[in-house]
Amino acid sequence: MNFLIEAGLISEVSANQTKARVQIAGGLVTDFLHILQLAANSYKIHFIPAQVLEQVIVLSTENDINSGVILRGLNYIKFPVPKDASESKEIIEYADGTVISYDTKTKTLTAAFAGDVKINIEGSANITVAKSAIVEAQNISAKAGTAEITCPETSVKGNVTVDGIVTATGVVGNTVTVGGAGGSVMKAEGGKFKIDRPLDVTGDVKASGGLLYDKFGAIRTQDNSGGGGD
């Protein structure tokens, strides 16, 4: 069997992206020929759309250029090798500027996405980071049925707003302040609970220990000063 090999540029791509026409030497343009993809079977389908002016090889049988298939992947001035290419780096560049690369020498995976990233996982996801992990974003929103953080020490730098009940089974710091800006301020310091602003109570007040009253029937404060008259 005789084979004919011709290099050329894709001049037209079919609407379903399965075939293309190739202009070869002398200005001859082939019929629509099948485009070879990296994989097309029950295990995996790897589709890369063909582009006009992509440099390819036409491999034909029986010396009939119109009975061949298109082999892809030849770099030239229109689609050159990426500028950061090296013997240890694999690079994928997309038309919109997205670049994904992996360098086996530095063991570094780098991904720069020009647009949004969407990940849908039908099962569970486990992410393990041996060293540090940093997440930076303008806004972060997380939604879950339940969430659990296991960490010996957690630090939050900035204001925290909780729209719900806060429950602690251990000690909540040596000093806790609630309120401010003219409202009621409650402080827990050294095992003592203090309120240094007016307090309005619409329900019952219950105490497991004794309550101290002064001679006027007012509840005595921590420093034994009465809340009644002279």
- In this predicted model, what pLDDT tens digit does every residue of 34-91 receive, in sequence order? 999 999 999 999 999 999 999 999 999 878 899 999 999 999 999 999 999 999 999 9
Least confident of 22-31, 80-89, 98-107, 180-189: 180-189
pLDDT band at 2; cut points 50, 70, 90? confident
pLDDT band at 226; cut points 50, 70, 90? very low
Q: CATH assignment of 3-72, given 2.40.50.230, 2.60.120.10, 1.10.3720.10, 1.10.10.10?
A: 2.40.50.230
Mean pLDDT of the 85-104 span: 96
Is the pLDDT score of 140 beyond 90?
A: yes
Label residues 155-167 b or e (16+ Cβ within 10 Å = b): eeeeeeeeeeeee
DSSP string covering 93-154 = E-TTS-EEEEETTTTEEEEE-SS------SS------SS------S------S------S--
Q: What is the pLDDT of residues 172-220, one digit of tens each?
A: 666 666 665 555 566 666 666 666 667 677 877 776 666 666 566 666 5
Domain with CATH 2.40.50.230 in the chain: 3-72
Is the pLDDT score of 13 beyond 90?
A: yes
Answer yes or no: are the C-beta atoms of 90 and 102 closer than 8 Å.
yes
Whether the predicted model's global pTM rises above the 0.75 cut: no
For residues 162 and 158, what is the distance between their CA atoms, to the nearest angstrom?
A: 13
Neighbours of 212 (CB within 10 A): 12
Q: What is the pLDDT of residue 227?
A: 47
DSSP label at residue 216: T
For residues 125 and 117, what is the distance between their CA atoms, to the nearest angstrom?
A: 17
